[in-house]
């Protein structure tokens, strides 16, 4: 298999796969905003419409106009605003949100929802998108979904399947010419190392954050993922926050996402972090660029 990479004057391309509208703004938004502004073609693909999401902004919970019937359309408008702020392209895969089941015993997921579908079936529209967009880099969630929402776990499964199937000339030729994505990354945004660094910085400054300290007590270092790739996003923290606030029904503007200042983030950590899960080209780790090793005309795939 030959992995076709961009010529020196060709646009770099990446696809970021997410489960619901708002995930693209809370996970890796600084990275996508940075690459888009540097001239890369960045496409966010959202698997579901977030139809079963709740109103999480306490300021809007009593708004009589935000009924369950209108919420899907509202979330699409929010996504369009966030897309414009980030400067990325955006596509919907068109699947239905599975919701987050609660209770004992746990109720079954709604029939036909995203997480209930066979993986190959759910991967097919992503295969079509990858063959059409021809990205060099794909980002998605780890096998635990980043957190165990069934749609996040399914996003991981679908992304891995599409990564393989898009390159397979025998799979669904009607979906387009085969395309081998060179690198697949897991977004590793919420991890103990980052939170510990921020907490230490705030303690040293005499401004400890109680919420952060309590969260650290619950985090087990054994659950940390490998950090292979760290992207400097210090100049894009404001863009990230503006995109997240665009999802007004989903985000409390006074919530924990916004309680740590940009100055603290910049000084204590300042990167968005990734785990290189699969590479079809040779790499040198650690990296500071998702496109590291991809700035050549072509390379031969690994055996």
Residue ranges for the known binding site for Zn(2+) are 20, 23, 152
CA distance 118 to 98: 14
Element (H, E) at 130: helix 119-133
Binding site: what residues are annotated? 20, 23, 152
| Two tokens, residue 102 | 């609660």
Give alpha helix (H) positions in 205-287: 210-218, 237-246, 262-268
Query: CA dist 138 to 51, 164, 186, 283, Å?
Result: 25, 12, 9, 16
- φ, ψ of residue 261 in degrees (nearest 5): -70, 155
* Residue 258: closest CA among 15, 31, 11, 57: 57
Please, is 282 exposed, middle or buried when counting C-beta atoms within 10 Å of its C-beta (0-12, 13-18, 19+)? exposed
- How many whole angstroms from its chain centre is CA 81? 17
| Two tokens, residue 108 | 């079954």
For residue 226, the tally of other CB atoms under 10 A from its CB is 15
CA distance 282 to 142: 21
């Amino acid at each position: 298999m030959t992995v076709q990479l961009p010529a020196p004057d060709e646009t770099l391309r990446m696809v970021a796969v997410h489960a619901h509208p708002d995930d693209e703004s809370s996970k890796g938004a600084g990275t996508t905003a940075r690459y888009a502004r540097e001239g890369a073609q960045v496409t966010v693909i959202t698997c579901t419409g977030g139809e079963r999401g709740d109103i999480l902004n306490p300021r809007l919970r009593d708004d009589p106009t935000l009924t369950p019937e209108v919420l899907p359309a509202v979330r699409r408008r929010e996504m369009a605003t966030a897309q414009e702020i980030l400067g990325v392209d955006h596509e919907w895969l068109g699947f239905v949100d599975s919701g987050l089941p609660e209770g004992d015993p746990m109720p079954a997921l709604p029939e036909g929802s995203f997480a209930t579908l066979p993986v190959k079936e759910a991967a097919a529209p992503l295969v079509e998108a990858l063959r059409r967009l021809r990205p060099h880099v794909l980002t998605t969630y780890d096998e635990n979904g980043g957190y165990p929402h069934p749609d996040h776990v399914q996003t991981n499964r679908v992304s891995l399947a599409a990564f393989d199937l898009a390159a397979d000339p025998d799979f669904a030729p009607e979906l387009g010419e085969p395309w081998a994505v060179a690198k697949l990354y897991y977004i590793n945004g919420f991890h103990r190392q980052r939170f510990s660094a921020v907490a230490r910085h705030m303690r040293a400054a005499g401004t400890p954050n109680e919420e952060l300290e309590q969260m650290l007590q619950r985090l087990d270092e054994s659950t940390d993922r490998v950090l292979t790739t760290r992207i400097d996003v210090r100049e894009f923290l404001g863009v990230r926050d503006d995109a997240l606030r665009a999802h007004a029904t989903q985000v409390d503007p006074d919530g924990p996402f916004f309680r740590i200042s940009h100055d603290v983030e910049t000084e204590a950590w300042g990167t968005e972090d990734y785990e290189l899960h699969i590479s079809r080209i040779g790499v040198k780790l650690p990296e500071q660029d998702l496109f590291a090793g991809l700035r050549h005309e072509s390379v031969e795939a690994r055996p």
